[in-house]
Structure 1
Amino acid sequence: MRKMIVSPMAVVLFLLFTGCTRTTLLPDGEEISLSESKRDHRVELEFWHTYSDAETEVFENKVIPLFESQHPDIKIHAVRKDYTQQLKDDTFAAAIDNKSPDVMRMDIIWVPEFAKKGTLVNLLDMSGFEDIRKQFIGDLLTTNLYRGKYYGLPVNANTKVAIYNKKLLARAGLDAPPATFDELIQAVGRLREQDPELFGIGICCSSGWGTLPYFWTFGGKLTDPNYTRASGYLDHPDSIAALEKIHRLYKERVISPSIIGKEPGSWDGILQGQLVMIEEAHWFYTVNATGANKDLLQDVEIGVFPDDVNTGTSIIGGENLVLFNGSEHKEQSWTFMQWMVTEEPQRIMAETGLIPTIKNMRDTDHNEVYDTYLRQLGRALPRPPVSTWTDIDNVYALMIEYILTEEKPLEDAVHDAVAEIDNLLSIQ
């Protein structure tokens, strides 16, 4: 048989006319499917996150494969980071050097700082933002607001609810969590007649995370609605009255010394029966569900924050998804961000204990604890979404400590804090 000689031009023509077939010839004669070839040319997004071990396992093994199956032209390269101050500094540096990720899941209080430095995309400019902005629970979206623009989407949330020692409630004659602070304070008074060493309420700290739920519920306001000034708000008579109530409850030992870093600590205090109530996020349950405190969880009961001057108001925490200006794949990144706040991935991540951010999720099995946190989230407020919040929080916390320790008269402590906070808001 005569050996066939194939010219280079014939090879070129063969490749042109077979371009619509399912295989591609490689130089060494191997074949690959076009679907494999297409996967090799997917857009790859780099996504930084701070999920825990359990959350990372679910995200990588369930969420990413689901997204990539629904969006075969996009690949997610997830990079886990430790949540530290160093991470924030490193991310700032990466953005300046144009080495930031495409998308990042970051603490809500970081968003205004990154927005101020011009590192984030204003999502008002992205197609479809107006269609999804109303799907979030309560004031969650406000945590992404900076100077009238939105720079992120709430991907998971947390808040704090009231957690009670059931045995102490029963001893005080209550068969359910108190609906108001007056009812709680009266119950503490009855218990103190039996045990003078008992404290009523354990607050973690003097910072905004610890005390703002009480300040707001007692009728206080930190700033104006646009977060431009504290004067006229923090020093308003209603706010002064709220601070006076916190001070009085501390002097009467209704509020425990944990508020200024002393014992009993809030977690030990509620589990050991030294406190009637604490306010805490959902991780109180996840952390104590194993180990020495597991059985003690049977002695606690959960409820939404009691009412006072205002409906019981808690504080918003959590993480937001942000898109960096340096991304070369903004449209694909935006597709991923929008998908992450749809029902399916939100439900999957809820398996790890993370609280969803969207309203009206269907077919989700909630236990009592989960339901209570979701209800409280609808009556929770954000910390002011300003770039100088960390410094403002330090001023606020010091004001609370001055008032409680009586190092300064209340009016003087408030006056000084207002001046400092106004200055910080003017430069944010």
Structure 2
Amino acid sequence: MRIKQNGCDRRKRRRHRAVWLPLLLLVLALCEACSSYSLVENPAAQGSDAPEGPKVDLQFWHTYSDVESKVFETRILPIFEREHPNIVVHAVRQNYTSQLNDNIVAAIADDKQPDVMRMDIIWVPQFARSGALTDLTEMNDFADYENRFTGSLIQTNRYNDHYYGIPLDATTMVPIYNQSLLREAGLSAPPSTFDELIAASRRLKAKDAGLYGISVCCSSTWGMLPYFRTLGGELLSPSLNKASGYLDSPASVEAMKKLKGWFDEGLMSPTVVGGEPGGWDGLFNRKILMIDEAHWFFTSNENTNNGPLLNDMVTGLFPSDVREGTSVIGGENLVLFRGSRHPEEAWAFMKFMVSEPVQEMMAETGLIPSIKDFDRAKLQPVYRIYVEQLQHAEPRPPVPQWDEVDDVFSRMVTRIFVGEKPAAEAMRESALQIDSILASR
């Protein structure tokens, strides 16, 4: 009987289990579903001072290279979005071509401009004049950032005494010498004055008529302004509204005559008017003593057949003459478009991009930091001279019609160098042309 009773009990328990076990599983499933649902929009925000707010989407246009884009997208952007969980940055890479300026104009016309853009410094005055950019002096804390940048970099964002951007990365040119030729000319270090450089060039020229002391990339302001300004020349008035009385002043004419004399003497290579040998080839082949070039000279050549020859190159600061040696500023600025629906969030992103940790990470790609307190020891040794030269660099005049002004200047230099017109006459005519261009503001 006991066995039968036990068997009967087991059957009863099985019948009971068959009833309550599905009910228990159903209750557990419902509880689990309830536990994944919350009236709080973001459960992770519970206990914090404030719940996460609505997302803000920012459009950021840039012209970073492949290497620069990878660092920005995989290392920098995630940090920003962790620090600003309510802001999502959509980075759109643009190809830096002659068409890009037109594309920006078209986007503005269609109200499809980005919130923020990494823009070539020479374009800032153009878009500031059109009303497309936000005057950053309207930002409450802009004064805290105005003096954070190296040398005259902030001035590349100036238009009508207001600032329409902040410097993101910078470049300039420094003299690069063939060290073997430097020693052959009797110098143990780069010359500090043009008198030294020209004397060394003449000594080399006496030994080899096919050798040049200086190679200037071109007749444009990017190539010629460092020499023209250092020798005492002026392009525009301080108010940037005219060239007459400045470009054609006695000091400017004298500076141009000196440059023309070096060219006629064969101390300056034909590269300035499109001739040969090219600057890089001439330097590597020991036919040119000095070129002035940006930092990409080293990044472009380090993994090529010319890589080993870089060991024979030495850099210095720009030689001085009438003035302390000065170079031209290049690079990119961050601008905030006036059409942005989220200007405060866009400004927060811009400030983040010029913080030292971000500048340091982008410097690993070969970009030169814009902030003046950046620790140069964190840069590759070959780039440190560029940061120092930026202390003695000046912007091309920030006028909206810069491309037209540059074209007039370039044609003027070519006409003078090839002997089409005397310096004084060509400079007087060009000054009047530039006056007319600037009057169209």
The normalised TM-score by structure 1 is: 0.91
Q: 1:153 is aligned with what amino acid?
A: I
Whether 2:210 is the aligned partner of 1:194: answer: no
CA–CA separation in structure 2 for the residues paired with 1:21 and 1:305 = 60
1:383-398 correspondence runs (5 A): 383-398=396-411
1:366 equivalent among 379, 389, 394: 379
**Cα drift, residue 409 of structure 1:** 1.5
**For residue 120 of structure 1, what is the aligned residue in structure 2?**
133
**For residue 19 of structure 1, what is the aligned residue in structure 2?**
39
The total of aligned residue pairs comes to: 406
> Given that residues 107 and 318 in structure 1 are in contact (C-alpha distance below 8 angstroms), is that contact kept between their aligned partners in structure 2?
yes
2:345 equivalent among 309, 312, 332: 332
Q: 1:388 is aligned with what amino acid?
A: Q
**Cα drift, residue 411 of structure 1:** 1.3
3-state SS of the aligned residue for 2:263?
helix
1:302-313 correspondence runs (5 A): 302-313=315-326
1:139 equivalent among 113, 134, 152: 152
2:328 equivalent among 315, 334, 339: 315
**Cα drift, residue 39 of structure 1:** 7.5
1:4-153 correspondence runs (5 A): 19-20=39-40, 23=43, 41-153=54-166
CA–CA separation in structure 2 for the residues paired with 1:18 and 1:385 = 56
> Given that residues 395 and 420 in structure 1 are in contact (C-alpha distance below 8 angstroms), is that contact kept between their aligned partners in structure 2?
yes
CA–CA separation in structure 1 for the residues paired with 2:223 and 2:269 = 13
Whether 2:176 is the aligned partner of 1:163: answer: yes
1:279-290 correspondence runs (5 A): 279-290=292-303
CA–CA separation in structure 1 for the residues paired with 2:207 and 2:436 = 49
**For residue 27 of structure 1, what is the aligned residue in structure 2?**
none
Gaps of 5+ in 1: 4-13, 24-32
> Given that residues 63 and 345 in structure 1 are in contact (C-alpha distance below 8 angstroms), is that contact kept between their aligned partners in structure 2?
yes
CA–CA separation in structure 2 for the residues paired with 1:359 and 1:84 = 30
**Cα drift, residue 305 of structure 1:** 0.5
CA–CA separation in structure 2 for the residues paired with 1:274 and 1:115 = 44
2:229 equivalent among 209, 216, 232: 216
Please report the RMSD computed on the Cα atoms of aligned residues, expressed in angstroms.
Answer: 2.0
Whether 2:289 is the aligned partner of 1:276: answer: yes
> Given that residues 216 and 313 in structure 1 are in contact (C-alpha distance below 8 angstroms), is that contact kept between their aligned partners in structure 2?
yes
CA–CA separation in structure 2 for the residues paired with 1:58 and 1:146 = 32
**For residue 238 of structure 2, what is the aligned residue in structure 1?**
225
**Cα drift, residue 22 of structure 1:** 5.8
Q: 1:352 is aligned with what amino acid?
A: T
Q: 2:173 is aligned with what amino acid?
A: K
**Cα drift, residue 424 of structure 1:** 1.1
**Cα drift, residue 374 of structure 1:** 0.4
Gaps of 5+ in 2: 1-19, 24-33
Note closer, same or farther for the CA distance 1:399–1:21 as it changes in structure 2 (3 Å cut). Answer: closer
> Given that residues 102 and 326 in structure 1 are in contact (C-alpha distance below 8 angstroms), is that contact kept between their aligned partners in structure 2?
yes
Whether 2:426 is the aligned partner of 1:413: answer: yes
Q: 1:298 is aligned with what amino acid?
A: N
**For residue 400 of structure 1, what is the aligned residue in structure 2?**
413
Which piece of structure 1 moves more, 253-262 or 290-299? Answer: 290-299
3-state SS of the aligned residue for 2:169?
strand
Q: 2:109 is aligned with what amino acid?
A: I
CA–CA separation in structure 1 for the residues paired with 2:129 and 2:247 = 25
**Cα drift, residue 40 of structure 1:** 9.3
2:436 equivalent among 409, 416, 423: 423
CA–CA separation in structure 2 for the residues paired with 1:22 and 1:345 = 29
3-state SS of the aligned residue for 1:135?
coil
CA–CA separation in structure 2 for the residues paired with 1:363 and 1:219 = 31
CA–CA separation in structure 1 for the residues paired with 2:41 and 2:376 = 44
3-state SS of the aligned residue for 2:365?
coil
> Given that residues 58 and 89 in structure 2 are in contact (C-alpha distance below 8 angstroms), is that contact kept between their aligned partners in structure 1?
yes
3-state SS of the aligned residue for 1:155?
strand
Note closer, same or farther for the CA distance 1:328–1:173 as it changes in structure 2 (3 Å cut). Answer: same
Which piece of structure 1 moves more, 359-368 or 282-291? Answer: 359-368
**For residue 299 of structure 1, what is the aligned residue in structure 2?**
312
> Given that residues 158 and 281 in structure 1 are in contact (C-alpha distance below 8 angstroms), is that contact kept between their aligned partners in structure 2?
yes
> Given that residues 220 and 407 in structure 2 are in contact (C-alpha distance below 8 angstroms), is that contact kept between their aligned partners in structure 1?
yes
CA–CA separation in structure 2 for the residues paired with 1:362 and 1:190 = 40
**Cα drift, residue 98 of structure 1:** 0.5
CA–CA separation in structure 2 for the residues paired with 1:396 and 1:154 = 26
3-state SS of the aligned residue for 1:68?
helix
3-state SS of the aligned residue for 2:306?
coil
3-state SS of the aligned residue for 1:373?
helix
> Given that residues 53 and 86 in structure 2 are in contact (C-alpha distance below 8 angstroms), is that contact kept between their aligned partners in structure 1?
no
Question: C-alpha offsets along residues 233-279 of structure 1, whole Å, 9 cap, x if unaligned?
Answer: 11111111110111000001111000000100011111111100000
CA–CA separation in structure 2 for the residues paired with 1:39 and 1:295 = 55
Q: 1:409 is aligned with what amino acid?
A: P
> Given that residues 347 and 364 in structure 1 are in contact (C-alpha distance below 8 angstroms), is that contact kept between their aligned partners in structure 2?
no
> Given that residues 157 and 165 in structure 2 are in contact (C-alpha distance below 8 angstroms), is that contact kept between their aligned partners in structure 1?
yes
**Cα drift, residue 34 of structure 1:** 5.7
**Cα drift, residue 368 of structure 1:** 3.4
Question: C-alpha offsets along residues 280-339 of structure 1, whole Å, 9 cap, x if unaligned?
Answer: 000000000111111111111111111111111000000000011111111000011111
